[in-house]
Amino acid sequence: SQQGEEDPQALSIQEGENATMNCSYKTSINNLQWYRQNSGRGLVHLILIRSNEREKHSGRLRVTLDTSKKSSSLLITASRAADTASYFCATDGGGAQKLVFGQGTRLTINP
């Protein structure tokens, strides 16, 4: 089955800096989503980008999608301590309801 893969696996930056995480996937998609997971909790949806979109913004989040390279990036600008979490990309692989998640990037924001 297809698998999203995030890169890097772990990222540690200073508060106020920008954080960039990347995701690669293997098969065609209708859309790609990013989720956040605070330690020991469930996942929370952040943003969805469709296959015909190249870039999307939501507050301090910017997501890009390159379907020719089968990759996406999530940029968090002006990071805050509260952004410390794991971030996962998820692809639908052509099936709207069934998502395939990557292994995640663990982001640590140092005050």
In the complex, which residues of this chain contact another protein (CB under 8 A)?
A: 1, 33, 35, 40-45, 48, 88, 90, 96-104
- The smaller minimum CB distance to another protein, of residues 48 and 75, is found at 48
In whole angstroms, what is the distance from residue 24 CA to residue 84 CA? 22
CB of 2 to another protein, least distance (A): 11
Amino acid symbol at 70: K
The minimum distance between CB 16 and another protein, in angstroms, equals: 29
> CB-wise, 45 or 80, nearer to another protein?
45
- Considering the complex, what minimum distance in angstroms separates the CB of residue 103 from another protein? 4
The Cα angle at residue 40 between residues 82 and 29, in degrees rounded to 5: 80
